[in-house]
Amino acid sequence: MRQLVSKCTVALFEGLLINILILVVALVVLDKASDSTIDNAVKVADVTGSGKTTIGFVLVAFCT
């Protein structure tokens, strides 16, 4: 019985570690993507002559 509990505990712990790793990788990708989005939105604002706030509102409007 104890071996079964031990195996289940190890399996749950391994699954938890994998999920934490996936979460960390996803957060890093989200951070890089958001930085890229902001940088490109600022470039669009500079090229078009629109305000950064206007481009931000348009970006949020399209995303939602």
pLDDT tens per residue across span 27-37: 999 999 999 98
Check if the beta carbon of residue 52 is closer than 8 Å to that of residue 40: no
Say yes or no to pLDDT of 61 above 70.
yes
* Sign of the Cα pseudo-torsion (16, 17, 22, 27, in order): positive
Say yes or no to pLDDT of 43 above 80.
yes
Mean pLDDT computed over 14-20: 86
Nearest to 42 by CA among 29, 53, 31: 53
The model's pTM: 0.67
